[in-house]
Structure 1
Amino acid sequence: MWMFSCLCILFGGDVLTSSHAQEGVNLARRGRPVQSSTSGSWVAANGIDTSPYTCTHTATTDNPWWRVDLLDSYFISTVVITNRPTCCPERLDGAEVRIGNSLENNGNNNTRCAVLYGVPMAQSVSVTCDDILGRYVNVIIPGSLKILTMCDVQVYQKVQKSFMKMNFTSILDMSDATKRSNVLNELKTALTIKGLSNFTLTWKKLPQKVQLKTSLNDTSMC
């Protein structure tokens, strides 16, 4: 009686998952800004151009606001706002930072993260937003005949990272970078179906090959 055997190749590796946003990346920089009105050349885009000397400036209106569309939803941890360097720092007093996914009332009904007071001229204030989920970041000053002017707005997400240790059988040569990439793409598709979004997968530790010889009647590995 012949006994047949098969050769299984067991691969194991560590996968690092993280959000699309990288640590320390200013999400507002690549966003689309708009404001309720514009005075002169002080356009909404000046708020994300990283220069402390080009500023936004609305006309004198009721409830002036500025908004940046981040183009995707993120769990926002921090918003940094820089006051204008030349005059009138008190104009920023009472400004509310709001974050969310709704454009109702131009986004000004979204969750309030903070209210600003006493930001010195040409200085920045960093507010913690407790990972509020949102695509839109608004700054609004409630009240009659107000002016909203800012010189820089930065938005950051706290990147969440986790590791998955995987063991799997394969007839493929996992030393090939293309095949490793295909495995991650298949895993990403499966996780997306499960409801996860806005993440990336990378190999933290490349797969290691282990050869296991087993009987044909043992189907636990082959």
Structure 2
Amino acid sequence: MIQIWMGLLATVMILVGHGEAQSCKPEPRGRFHNLARGRPAFQSSLYPLENIGLASKAVDGNCNGDWSIKSCIHTNDDYEPWWYVDLEAEYAIATVVVKNREDCCRERLGGAQIRVGNYGGNNSKSNFLCGTITDTRADSMSTISCYGSKGRYVSINIPGRKEWLHVCEVEVYGTKVYGQG
């Protein structure tokens, strides 16, 4: 347990102390890297413009916030839309970084919840609530602390309203949980 907390503390120090979280492309330092990059991702629906707004766009490493560059996810105008990434193993999550859209409609992400746990899809609303996005300025980066919450899935949910969900990149930092199962 102490090893997990020391790893989480080191992750937070790396992100805060060196400012990499704000670059959207932190350089790996030691054993800490973006756990979400390239992992399977899913969303409640797909905005009907070909396959531009696929869930995988939020974990492709491209931090451009312009929708026309084709690096952002985009759902339909759903009631309580969601997006999540499957980390494919359980991790103690320290921090989640969410890059907002910069070209328009950035206020839509306001009130979105970041959750961590072992439920995916619409059930991700049952997972631990790390925090809520409040910064909706153009090109904003929200850094949400999850305090070592354990889970396989990291999700973004917009509760209680009909909305389009779009984010341009999601980065997840934490340490693997060993000795499970």
Q: TM-score, normalised by structure 1?
A: 0.60
> What RMSD over aligned residues (CA atoms) do the two structures have, in Å?
2.6
Secondary structure class of the residue paired with 1:55: coil
Partner of 1:58: 75
Write the distance in 2 (CA, Å) between the matches of 1:77 and 1:141: 21
Task: Measure how far apart 1:125 and its partner are.
Answer: 1.3
- Bigger relative CO (Cα 8 Å, ≥ 6 apart): 1
- The aligned runs of 1:171-190 (5 Å cut-off) are none
Question: What are structure 2's unaligned runs of at least 5 residues?
Answer: 8-29, 65-70
Q: For 1:30, what is the secondary structure of its paired residue?
A: coil
For normalisation by structure 2, the TM-score amounts to 0.73
Alignment of 1:1-222 (within 5 A): 23-39=31-47, 40=49, 41-53=52-64, 54-103=71-120, 105-158=122-175, 196-197=178-179
Equivalent pair of 2:91/2:176 in contact (CA under 8 Å): no
The structure with the larger Rg is: 1
Runs of 4+ with deviation above 6 angstroms: 16-19
Unaligned residue ranges in structure 1 (runs of 5+): 1-15, 161-195, 199-222
Deviations 1:174-200 (A, max 9, x none): xxxxxxxxxxxxxxxxxxxxxx528xx
Letter in 2 for 1:42: G
Residues 83 and 121 in structure 2, CA contact (< 8 A), matched pair in contact too? no
Aligned to 1:184: none
- Deviation of the 1:144 alpha carbon: 2.8
| Percent of paired sites with the same residue | 36
Conserved 8 A contact 1:52-1:84: no
1:50 to partner: Cα distance: 1.4
> Secondary structure at 2:163's aligned position in 1?
coil
Deviation of 1:34 (Å):
0.3
Report the 3-state secondary structure (helix = DSSP H, G, I; strand = E; otherwise coil) of the residue aligned with 1:143.
coil
Greater strand share, structure number: 1
- Count of residues paired in the alignment: 147
Rounded to whole Å, the distance in 2 between the matches of 1:112 and 1:151 is 21
